[in-house]
Structure formats: C-alpha cells, structure tokens
Amino acid sequence: MTDSPAIIGWSHSAFGKTTEPDVQALLSNVTGPALQHAGVAPGDVDGVFVGVFNGGFSRQGFEAGLVGAGEPALASIPAVRTENACATGSSALFAALDFVQSGRGRIALVAGAEKMTAAEPEVVNDVLLTASYREEEEQAGSFAGVFGDIARTYFERYGDHSDALARIAAKNHRNGVGNPYAHLRKDLGFEFCAEVSDRNPLVADPLRRTDCSLVSDGAAALVVAAPEVAATAPRAIGWRGRAHANDHLPLSRRDDVLAFAGARAAFTRAMSDAGADLPALDLLETHDCFTIAELLQYEAFELAAPGKGAALLEEGGTERGGDLPVNPSGGLKSKGHPIGATGISQHIMASLQLTGEAGDMQVPGAELAAVFNMGGVAVANYCSVLERIR
C-alpha cells in the first residue's frame, strides 16, 4: 500500500478478570508503555484514537477524554472515541490510519479497552445484545443465542458439525497456553470441548460454553506513524493491504446468513490490495467470538468450500503447523474478548509474529499475516494484511 503508515510500538495488558477498577485505569496501563516502546514522547503525538464499546458496562462515557485523565501529558492532544460493536478496536485503528495517511498528523496513538467483569451477568447479556438488530433478533435471548441460531441453520444445511466446533475450541485453547496475555491459558482438549457436561453446558444450543468467547477486562495500545517517521523507528510493521466492508445489520435482509458476505468482501479486498493469495499468508488472526464464526470465516475466505470447513480442521490445515495457522494467539476463545481492545490486540499479536517476538506462540518464519475483526454478525468487517518493513 503506497505511503501506508506503520505500527512502530505497542503495549498489551493481560486479559481476564482484572483488579483495575475502570476503563481509565486500564487505558493508563497501556498508553504510556506503548509510547515508550515506540520511542515517542507524548508531545510528539498528533492524535489519539480510542476504542471503547461501553454500551452500558459503565456510566462513564466520553472515553476519548479518559486517556488524558489517566496520562496528563496527553490531555491536550486531540482525541476521539470510536465504536463499532466488536470491531471497535479496529475502527479506532483504521481512523488513525486515515488520519496519518491523509497527512493531518504524523504520529497517532490508538488505545482500546473494556471493563466487562464488574457488570452483573444480566447486564453483560443485555449490553452484548445491542450488537444485534434488537427489533428482530432480541428474541434469541442473548448474542450467543443469535449465533446459536446461525449454528443450527448451518447444521440443518450441512449436518451436525458439533465436532468441528469443538476442534476449533480445542485448537484455540491449545494455542492460548503459549500466550502470556491470555485470559484462559489451559489446553482443554477436544474431548472436553466436544462433550456437554456440568462444566461445559449448552449456552445456546448447539453452542456449548467452550464455543463462546470469554467475558474479559483488558486493554491494548499501539502507535502508528507516517513512513518518514517509521523509517527511523526501532521497528515498523506496515500494511500491504486493508479493507473495511459492511453487511446488513438485520439478518433477515441477507440473501444467505451463512455466507458472511461482508467478511468475504473485506478479506478479498484486503488481499487484492496486498497483491497476495492465500498461500502467501503465514498466519491469520481472526474473530472467533463463537466457534461457528471461525468456521464460517474459513468458508467466506475460501480456505474451504461452503459446508467443508470441518475437513480443513480434520486435516490440520489451521493448526500452528498447518498450511495456514489460524489464531496462533489462541484467538478470542482463549485470549479473551474485552471488546474495545480486541481489534488492537489482534494487530499486536500479528506484529509480534512478524518481528519474531511471539515466544511460545511463534509461527516460524512468519513474514505475511492477515488480521480479521468483525462487529456484530459480520456487519462491520475489517481486514489487514501486514508485513514487517523494519
């Protein structure tokens, strides 16, 4: 991508049930360290872009101002908060990229956070439902219920694929053991993920607890800079391609709810922008809010034909040693899903791979990585194709 900004530094908190009381504290834990990692002073920052979903998790709004409240040296820097459901972090990042690429600024700080675990379960459930089209889909009872309906539709068309979903869960939890930031660092095993039990009950038939991402607190931040700044930075991860595509919010208006047409459009455009095909990718960090979502993404991205994602899993194609490792970080399934931080976290996980700093998560020789982050049921879809340029 011509004159594309680059990631030159980052910071990532541990995800999970944290002791930080609020979003302000979570953000302050990552903004300063991200600037330090990039070798940038607060006064060098031209814009701050904040991703927080909130939606009722907190009575405190105006999250753009919280960065300066927690880090006074940033209080006078122009700041804005974006929200785009579960793609909130990527929406903040893409806004920052446009800001830098347009020439309005040379350096932007992007930070995302969510404090979810302090809310009562019924509040969490209600807040997450706002990422659906409530007028028609609220009867599903929960956001998991919306995806449970999608999974049932898939099973009705292609047969019972419960084992395929369990393989995705087991893969991602196995990968997450090596991720020091992950909420749940435990290899649960296929058998546990496949069996409905007291410890792994049905949440929204046919989805079990292990098919659903975790409710987590956490924060992540990165610094993006213009090419002339990145040229002298300690490191630089650049965009070969990126795209943002949308689909209908009401699922009833889609031709095929299983097609994930918006996700396909974003991925296809980003790969075309990058001038790359699937064999060129070394890894994919993708949005497994529910295991059925990852399965449908395999098919939307043409890793597998419609209804054939299970075969890809059985062949090990998405394992760390497979043709295209998917979610070597453990994904949302293991790492957790603090909504505003997720898209930023995914880009950091890919950057760690490309700099060879992913530790026990490392995919050997990783040179080209794709990141896919979606809001709602593949309504707001963001895809990046990243490579190391310095």
Query: Rounded to whole angstroms, what are the CA distances from 200 to 190, 191, 195, 212, 303?
Result: 12, 11, 7, 11, 29
**309-146-132-185 Cα dihedral, nearest 10 degrees:** -60
DSSP letter string, 194-213: HS--SSS-EEETTEEGGGBP
Active-site hit among 86, 193, 289, 383: 86
Q: What are phi and psi of 245, to 5 degrees?
A: -135, 150
Q: Whole-angstrom Cα distance, residue 156 to residue 206?
A: 12
Q: Beta-carbon neighbour count of residue 43 at 10 Å?
A: 9
Rg (CA), the chain: 19
Active-site hit among 161, 173, 244, 337: 337
User: Could you tell me where the DSSP H helices lie in 132-241?
Assistant: 134-137, 143-158, 162-176, 190-194, 227-230
Q: Is 193 a catalytic residue?
A: no
DSSP class of residue 382 equals E
Q: Which of 54, 52, 32, 28 is nearest to 41 (CA)?
A: 32
User: Would you call 384 helix, strand, or coil by DSSP?
Assistant: strand
User: Would you call 358 helix, strand, or coil by DSSP?
Assistant: coil
Query: Rounded to whole angstroms, what are the CA distances from 289 to 208, 219, 294, 347?
Result: 13, 17, 8, 16
The helix or strand, by DSSP H or E, that contains position 388, with its residue range, turns out to be: strand 380-388
Q: Is 86 a catalytic residue?
A: yes
Q: Whole-angstrom Cα distance, residue 184 to residue 194?
A: 18
Q: Which residues are catalytic?
A: 86, 337
